[in-house]
Amino acid sequence: MRDRIAQIPVGKVATYGQIAASLGDRLASRWIGEQLLHGPAAQQPAAHRVVRAGGELGLFHTGDPTDKQRLLESEGVVVVDGKVNLAEYEFCEFAGTAPLADLRKWQQELAERNRLSEMKRGPALVAGLDVSYDGDDGVVAYVLFDYATREMVWSHITRQPVLFPYITSYLSYRELPLHLSVLATAMQASRIADLLMIDGSGILHPRRSGIASMLSALTGLPTIGVTKKHLCGSYLASDLSADRFCDLHVEEKAGPTKLGAAILPTRKTKRPIFVSPGGLVSCDQAEALVSHFMVGKRLPTPIAAADRLSRQSITTG
DNA sequence: GCGACAG
DNA sequence: ATCTTGTCGC
């Protein structure tokens, strides 16, 4: 993205969304904004030449938006009522590849080869995975549980640098390397689960390719994705209940398609969690398997345990 | 102004 | 995800 910002000439501006679009996805505009405000991109000489889609200047890393206005005006850009006339000053001819488009394509390919077949046998061992962050490092915890007794059997933690930023719907590229590392270790220790529960989406994703889906496609293991926030799919808030799942649908050519389900984790909250199959399990199975591990906490036991373990490894050092 | 999109 | 003090409620 730095190279794109550097392309904006003196006397011109570009929008956050345009820069994101030139990288392959305008949904990455929030990330561009973050980098320009807090990240290293803020130090670029052309950082002030990026404005909002409506022409408003937007925030500036100095904390004072008038700094941004002064810099633009010193370059001949007219600012009226805090806005720039984009028709006159917008620069659009960005050069360069669109990496995000390639990453989307890869997700789509994995999604197409993904199967939601029923698990034929119930899992004997279920593992939860979750990631915490410590500066530039990511710490992933893998916690293995006995399905029947719900008791923890084994756990392992892996720490490694995280290279990819968090961009909505591209979470996989940030966290998948961590998951694959810890799974490799579990494999060597002969502690691989029959089913993985991941803190992230499964097919309940814009391209049906959340992190749980990609992990299933890459490992051949059944996976379920569980999130605390809504990513996509529609449901009726009035259907939310602590007693049963309510379906999340997405509009497709063939008609409304169920991609996942939501449930209130306890009777006392109004904030649901969202469950979707990653691969090699059905929606119904995913719901039943998650239910089995719902014991009054916000997340099912394996993920809750992985969350706690990865966090405490950071606090403890 | 409102709505808002995993971690 | 992470930054963070006191505070409300079971």
How far is Cα A143 from Cα A185, in angstroms, rounded to an integer?
Answer: 12
| Confidence at residue A270, expressed as pLDDT on a 0 to 100 scale | 87
Residues A141 and A190 in one domain: yes
Residues A117 and A229 in one domain: yes
CA of A76 to C1' of C1 (A): 40
Q: Could you check: is the Cβ of residue A108 within 7 Å of any atom of nucleic acid strand B?
A: no
**In a domain? residue A67:** yes
Residues A159 and A307 in one domain: yes
Q: Which nucleotides of B are covered by protein (CB under 7 A)?
A: 4-7
Residues A171 and A296 in one domain: yes
- For A171, other C-beta atoms within 10 Å of its C-beta total 21
CA of A49 to C1' of C2 (A): 28
Domain boundary, last residue among A97, A125, A152: A97
Residues in Cβ contact with A43 at an 8 Å cutoff, skipping those fewer than 6 apart: A61
Q: Could you check: is the Cβ of residue A210 within 7 Å of any atom of nucleic acid strand B?
A: yes
How far is Cα A149 from Cα A251, in angstroms, rounded to an integer?
Answer: 39
Domain extent, residue A92, equals 2-97
- For A66, other C-beta atoms within 10 Å of its C-beta total 12
Asked whether the beta carbons of A261 and A271 are under 8 A apart, the reply is: no
- For A52, other C-beta atoms within 10 Å of its C-beta total 18
CATH number of the CATH domain containing A118: 3.30.2170.10
Q: What is the pLDDT along chain A (317 residues), one digit of tens a residue?
A: 889 999 999 999 999 999 999 999 999 999 999 999 988 899 999 999 999 999 999 999 988 889 999 999 999 999 999 999 999 999 999 999 999 999 999 999 999 998 888 899 999 999 999 999 999 999 999 999 999 999 999 999 999 999 999 999 999 999 999 999 999 999 999 999 999 999 999 999 999 999 999 999 999 999 999 999 999 999 998 899 999 999 999 988 888 999 999 999 998 888 999 999 999 999 999 999 999 999 989 999 999 999 999 999 998 76
**In a domain? residue A102:** no
Residues in Cβ contact with A172 at an 8 Å cutoff, skipping those fewer than 6 apart: A107, A200, A209, A210, A211, A214, A215
Residues A92 and A111 in one domain: no
| Confidence at residue A254, expressed as pLDDT on a 0 to 100 scale | 83
Q: Could you check: is the Cβ of residue A253 within 7 Å of any atom of nucleic acid strand B?
A: no
How far is Cα A67 from Cα A300, in angstroms, rounded to an integer?
Answer: 48
- For CA atoms A70, A74, A80, A83, the dihedral sign is negative
| Confidence at residue A2, expressed as pLDDT on a 0 to 100 scale | 86
**For residue A83, how many C-alpha atoms fall within 13 Å in the half-sphere facing its CB?**
9
For C10, nearest residue by CA–C1' is: A268
Q: Could you check: is the Cβ of residue A35 within 7 Å of any atom of nucleic acid strand B?
A: no
| Confidence at residue A86, expressed as pLDDT on a 0 to 100 scale | 93
Domain boundary, last residue among A36, A71, A97: A97
Q: Could you check: is the Cβ of residue A223 within 7 Å of any atom of nucleic acid strand B?
A: no
How far is Cα A24 from Cα A100, in angstroms, rounded to an integer?
Answer: 5
| Confidence at residue A13, expressed as pLDDT on a 0 to 100 scale | 96
Residues A62 and A176 in one domain: no
What total of structural domains would you count in chain A? 2
CATH number of the CATH domain containing A51: 1.10.10.10
